[in-house]
Amino acid sequence: MKILKWIGAVLGAVVIVLGTLYLLRTDPLVIIPGKRLSGEELPYPPDWSVCNDHLTMAVETRPEDPYSVTVSCLLHEGTIIFAATAGSTQEWAANIVRDPNIRLKLGDGVYPARAERALDLTTADIMPALMAKYPSIAEGAAENPPEGIWYFRVRPR
């Protein structure tokens, strides 16, 4: 019986610690959304080639109550493109449509920017950049193009 009480106490402590960490989080962690991005805010760069050095970036939406997610990013014609799979069902994508002011984090730098839905882009348009950066994803996308994907372009504010 003492062992069960001890296990219960340990599990209770773990739940409290994890719950506290979740409430105090800043940056997103893989699929767990975050809040306001941490890091030094830097001016919008003239060249986004640093995007090629990172498989993912964090995007912070909803400035009045920050909500951030981890997304894949690629460079297409000198502009960062990121996507929302099943965009119409993603809270963060709807946040961007309502207010395009975002902050994005690449490496340790946080950049104020705007995101605009790229209604003119298709998976075929970005396929060369996708193949270069994410060959396994591109292969699947070429064989079975995703439906309902929303692409966003990053622009200066």
Taking residues 118-123, what's their average pLDDT? 93
Q: Are 48 and 75 in contact (CB under 8 A)?
A: yes
Exposure of 143 in the CB half-sphere (CA atoms within 13 A): 5
**Segment 71-98, tens digit of pLDDT:** 999 999 999 999 999 999 999 999 999 9
Q: Which domains does the chain have, with CATH numbers?
A: 40-155 (2.30.110.10)
Q: Which of 95, 102, 105 is nearest to 70 (CA)?
A: 105
pLDDT of 136: 83
Distances (CA, A) of 46 to 7, 81, 104: 55, 15, 15
pLDDT of 11: 73
Q: Which residues contact 34 (CB under 8 A, 6 or more apart)?
A: 25, 26, 27, 28, 58, 60, 67, 68, 69
Q: Are 42 and 111 in contact (CB under 8 A)?
A: yes
Distances (CA, A) of 91 to 16, 23, 60, 140, 141: 27, 19, 12, 25, 23
Provide the residue count of the chain. Answer: 157
User: Would the pTM count as exceeding 0.85?
Assistant: no
